[in-house]
Amino acid sequence: GAGVSQSPSNKVTEKGKDVELRCDPISGHTALYWYRQRLGQGLEFLIYFQGNSAPDKSGLPSDRFSAERTGESVSTLTIQRTQQEDSAVYLCASSGSSGTDTQYFGPGTRLTVL
């Protein structure tokens, strides 16, 4: 079946603009995660959705970052008033009914803030 998909694959924006990144999880996966990978650094957890529970937002770096998920489908990560330090690859992952199952990652969105 289809894997996790993300769009756009690349996004170049100017400092101060808002951007929206999209993630389509594997069908039937109830858990969805966003991570960030800045150049030369490891992956950082951002936010986690599990079914209809309140999301775990503990990794969001500032209030400029927000994410939504409609039911068990698409998620969008929004970054307002982008800064140069937001430049990174944003990765989405999904997993099955248990939050402890294998996480399957999408190809990522490379965000460049000029």
Partner 1 sequence: KQEVTQIPAALSVPEGENLVLNCSFTDSAIYNLQWFRQDPGKGLTSLLLIQSSQREQTSGRLNASLDKSSGRSTLYIAASQPGDSATYLCAVNGNQGGKLIFGQGTELSVKP
Site of interaction with partner 1 (CB under 8 A): 4, 31, 33, 35, 41-45, 48, 50, 56, 58-59, 91, 93, 95, 98-108
Query: Least distance from C-beta 45 to partner 1, angstroms?
Result: 4
Tell me, what amino acid is at 104? Y
Q: For 66-69, which contacts have Cβ atoms below 8 Å and span 24 or more sequence positions?
A: 67/34, 69/32
State which residue, 16 or 61, has the beta carbon closest to partner 1: 61
Query: Least distance from C-beta 50 to partner 1, angstroms?
Result: 7
Neighbours of 107 (CB within 10 A): 14
- Distance CA(83)–CA(80), nearest Å, equals 9
Query: Least distance from C-beta 44 to partner 1, angstroms?
Result: 8
- Distance CA(114)–CA(101), nearest Å, equals 37
State which residue, 27 or 83, has the beta carbon closest to partner 1: 27
